[in-house]
């Protein structure tokens, strides 16, 4: 049974395929409503314990994932699970790392890498993907992940 997000809920990004992924900043309270089925946390330190299944990508604030191949595998898992589950992607503020991850997930969903940052800024948050190296990571993501460019 499919259990996904309300497309109108705050932070929910609708991908071209129709999959929904919620981006969030962990410094803010957990939004009202359903809990994630799976969450991917993008932090430089181990995330707090949660009541749902989660994964962690070591990703220091304003930088890039410590292990790019492992990050690509975790982002692919999040994208695959979003077909049937409520998937959340979160960092501390919900903009830079979360926006970068959402842009990479959009690439996996078929958005051309050159358009993915713009897609996420238009459909998620205007401030998503904060640094030049995060934008380059998205542009190079197809080679890292073995995804179509």
Q: pLDDT digit string (tens) for 88-144?
A: 999 999 999 999 999 999 999 999 999 999 999 999 999 999 999 999 999 999 888
Residue 127 lies in a domain: yes
> Does residue 5 lie within any of the structural domains?
no
Q: To the nearest whole number, what is the mean pLDDT of the chain?
A: 93
Banded pLDDT at 3 (limits 50, 70, 90):
confident
Share of the chain above pLDDT 90, in %: 85
Q: Is residue 6 part of a domain?
A: no
Q: Is the pTM of this model over 0.75?
A: yes
- Residues 6+ positions from 46 with CB-CB distance below 8 Å: 56
- Residue 7 domain-assigned (yes or no): no
Q: 137 in a domain, yes or no?
A: yes
pLDDT at 147: 65
pLDDT at 149: 58
For the stretch 19-73, pLDDT in tens is: 999 999 999 999 988 999 999 999 999 998 999 999 999 998 888 898 899 999 9
Question: Which range marks the domain in which residue 19 is found?
Answer: 12-145
Q: What is the pLDDT of residue 4?
A: 86
Residue 1 has pLDDT above 60, yes or no: no
- Asked if the model's pLDDT at residue 2 lies above 70, the reply is no
Q: Which helix or strand (DSSP H or E) is residue 75 part of?
A: helix 68-81
Tally the domains of the chain.
1
- Residue 114: give its domain's CATH number: 3.90.190.10
- Is position 2 within any domain? no
Sheet holding 38-43, edge to edge: 12-14, 20-25, 87-91, 38-43, 53-58
């Amino acid at each position: 049974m499919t259990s996904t997000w309300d497309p109108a809920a705050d932070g929910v990004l609708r991908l071209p395929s129709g999959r929904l992924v919620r981006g969030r900043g962990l410094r803010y309270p957990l939004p009202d409503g359903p809990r994630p089925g799976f969450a991917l946390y993008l932090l430089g330190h181990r995330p707090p314990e949660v009541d749902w299944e989660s994964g962690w990508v070591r990703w220091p604030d304003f930088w890039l994932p410590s292990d790019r191949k492992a990050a690509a595998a975790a982002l692919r898992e999040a994208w695959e699970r979003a077909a049937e589950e409520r998937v959340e992607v979160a960092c501390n503020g919900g903009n830079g790392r979360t926006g970068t991850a959402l842009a990479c997930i959009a690439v996996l969903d078929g958005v051309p890498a050159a358009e993915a940052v713009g897609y996420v800024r238009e459909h998620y948050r205007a401030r998503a993907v904060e640094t030049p190296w995060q934008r380059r990571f998205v542009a190079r993501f197809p080679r890292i992940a073995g995804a179509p460019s």
